Amino acid sequence: MFIRVKNKPTKANVFNKTVQLVESVRQQGKVKQKIIKHLGVAYDQKQLDDLKSLAQILKEKLEDSSQFALFGADELPALEPLSAEHETTSPVLERDDDFNVDLRALEEQGRIVNGIHDVYGQLFDEINLSSLFKSPQRNKSAVNIFKQIVMARIANPDSKRASVKGLEEQFGVSLNLDQVYRMMDKIDDKAIDNLNEIAYRETKRLFNDKIDVIFFDATTLYFESFSEDEFKKNGYSKDLKFNQPQVVLALMVTKEGLPIGYQAFSGDTFDGHTLMPALEQLKSQYNLDQVVYVADSGMFNEANLSQLEERDFDYIVGARIKNLPNALKEKILDSSHYEPLNSSVKVARFKHKNRILVVSYSEKRAKKDRFEREKGIAKLKKQVEKHQSPKDYLSNQGYKKFLQLDKQCDAKVTLNEEKINEASRWDGLKGLIVSQSCQLSNEEILAQYNNLWQVEQSFRITKHDLKIRPIYHWKPRRVKAHLAISFAAYMLSRYLEHRIKTQYKKLSPAVIRSLLLSVQTSVLDHPQKKIKYGLPSSHKPDVVKIYQLMGVKMKRSAYIIEKYA
């Protein structure tokens, strides 16, 4: 079996290559090539590299396991949700007479959602998520319950009690809530390490076994509780839930948003203090290549930067340029230091504490800064017209910093035009602190930092799409298990998104979930014949393509679910 790249004929000299997984077979004494999987078409070198990496992963999985299915949709058996006991049933023997029915006698008993289990269930098996448990073959029940709860979190994230109910009503899967809790108690620190290892391994394989940039950020997750313990603690809440305990979640992803790992900290941990423990854990577990770490300014402080340099870590971090020494600030504001990067961006480099300070000026950013300031000041003027008491402006937050007391009348509040003009000098400027050893060009540094939105989008997926917060568990072990379940759901969401984007087109995790939830089967009962039939719903073109990409068979016509006495 091998990966074949074919040039597609085009009228012009256009990059257009197809990637296929091919196997040589002997037919009638001759060796012929059989296409096992068509991966897709690449229109540039990056797309080609991504398709080849995905083809290599699928090739290895097919060669490593005779159980792994990679053939076309018409060659595969259907995937059905399993019961909590992981039971399988023998195929129902169908006869032509079984389908000669009076439609008026059919009674709909319910509708089952198939798409989530069909596609995400397939991906769960492909990346071997069951291996986070010790001896998964001896813990089949726990593995299956974990799989079902992960499917429920992707489909309709809610409490574990609501998830059990939803699995029963929407997916025809029966679970016992006590069994779910017992499964969660088996997700110990070793299982969480295994989960992180699966994420790192799978993501690295998608990039030809090399990860050269890691994006890092942390957020807070609050509880529907007001009591603290050694893990749940009050702290600075990004959700403004200061009276409720929380935990801090640190997440590491690639520039595509693919997971590398995560770590949870007690709720009173400062964001900047999560960085080094997470990176140390990553370094101790894996043989990392030379990696550049990218994070926002809030994640780094002087101690962090020094620790990174001591460990020979390269980094790119946002700089608070207005807090730098005055001499350096004057250089930053001097346009003669800047060289054009493109038609709308200029860049300058400075030395600062044996580090590199890269400052960029963007016309687009300058317009945005000016617009937001003018909008804020206009709103502030209206406030000043209504409220003249200095007590109303004691805080210096936001645009209130542009206010002052009139020198001739202490009771009158006015705008400080000098401060406003000084602020305008910084419009469009953005600074980055870069390690001295970092070999990236100015353009590469800016591009990598601009990709930091991927980790922010990842947190939006976990917080909103997967609803990782609020957390309803109280015991630290259950809380950690909840985070592991949510991270597993995040992994599957991101991996499927990446595969669809690479082989087909860009679809967000929310759109993919909605498409797969539309794949349903009506359960019809014929009391006279004592047969239950399944009638699949119609399918959108995007759904059909997703099934084809995942190599999952899609039922299109009525079939027999069971015959009963």
In whole angstroms, what is the distance from residue 255 CA to residue 450 CA? 9
How many alpha carbons fall within 13 Å on the CB side of residue 478? 12
Task: Report the first-to-last Cα separation within the chain, whole angstroms.
Answer: 48
Least confident range from 12-16, 156-160, 204-208, 391-395: namely: 391-395
In whole angstroms, what is the distance from residue 73 CA to residue 549 CA? 9
What does each C-alpha distance from 199 to 233, 249, 481, 512 come to in angstroms?
A: 28, 16, 16, 21
Average pLDDT over residues 451-470: 66
Peptide bond just before 470 cis, omega within 30 deg: yes
How many alpha carbons fall within 13 Å on the CB side of residue 443? 5
In whole angstroms, what is the distance from residue 395 CA to residue 375 CA? 19
Instruction: Give the whole-number percent of the chain exceeding pLDDT 90.
Output: 39
In whole angstroms, what is the distance from residue 536 CA to residue 522 CA? 6
Q: Give residue 461's pLDDT.
A: 65
Coil vs helix vs strand at 254: coil
Q: Give residue 246's pLDDT.
A: 75
Instruction: Give the whole-number percent of the chain exceeding pLDDT 70.
Output: 78
With beta carbons less than 8 A apart as the criterion, state whether 513 and 113 touch.
Answer: no
Q: What angle do CA 506, 510, 511 make, to 5 degrees?
A: 55
Q: Name the token pair of 17.
A: 């290559």
Q: Give residue 400's pLDDT.
A: 63
Q: Give residue 73's pLDDT.
A: 34
Average pLDDT over residues 27-49: 79
Burial of 13 per CB tally in 10 Å (0-12, 13-18, 19+): exposed
Q: Any idea how long the chain is?
A: 565
Average pLDDT over residues 363-367: 94
Cβ-based neighbours of 152, under 8 Å, separated by 6 or more: 158, 163, 164, 166, 167, 171
Q: Name the token pair of 394.
A: 């004691």
pTM of this structure: 0.74
DSSP collapsed to 3 states, 19-69:
EEEEEEEEECCEEEEEEEEEEEEECCHHHHHHHHHHHHHHHHHHHHCCCCC
Q: What angle do CA 284, 289, 293 make, to 5 degrees?
A: 80
pLDDT, one tens digit per residue, over 166-177 is 999 999 999 999
In eight-state DSSP terms, residue 233 is B
> Closest by alpha carbon to 535, among 527, 548, 526, 544?
526
In whole angstroms, what is the distance from residue 269 CA to residue 271 CA? 6
In whole angstroms, what is the distance from residue 446 CA to residue 365 CA? 14
pLDDT category at 23 given cuts 50, 70, 90 is confident
pLDDT, one tens digit per residue, over 66-125 is 443 333 333 333 334 433 333 344 567 788 888 999 999 999 998 999 999 999 999 999
Q: Name the token pair of 379.
A: 């709103």
- Bridge pairing between strands 246-253 and 559-563: unpaired
The alpha carbon of 456 is separated from its chain's Cα centroid by a whole number of angstroms, namely 9
Q: Name the token pair of 10.
A: 């085009």
In eight-state DSSP terms, residue 207 is T
Q: Where are the alpha helices (DSSP H) in 264-403?
A: 275-285, 302-310, 326-332, 363-386
- Bridge pairing between strands 292-295 and 213-222: parallel
Tokens 């705008």 found at: 415
Q: Name the token pair of 104.
A: 């008026």
Q: Give residue 264's pLDDT.
A: 82
Coil vs helix vs strand at 185: helix
Coil vs helix vs strand at 516: helix
Coil vs helix vs strand at 423: helix
Q: Give residue 437's pLDDT.
A: 87
Longest Cα separation, the chain: 104
pLDDT, one tens digit per residue, over 496-538 is 999 999 999 999 989 999 999 999 999 999 999 999 999 999 9
Q: How many CB atoms lie within 10 A of CB 512?
A: 22
Q: What is the DSSP code string of 369-387?
A: HHHHHHHHHHHHHHHHHH-
Cβ-based neighbours of 315, under 8 Å, separated by 6 or more: 292, 293, 294, 295, 300, 305, 308, 433, 434, 435, 438
Cβ-based neighbours of 393, under 8 Å, separated by 6 or more: 400, 403, 413
In whole angstroms, what is the distance from residue 109 CA to residue 134 CA? 39
With beta carbons less than 8 A apart as the criterion, state whether 259 and 199 touch.
Answer: yes
Least confident range from 150-159, 362-371, 387-396: namely: 387-396
DSSP3 helix / strand / coil % (the chain, rounded to 5): 45, 20, 35
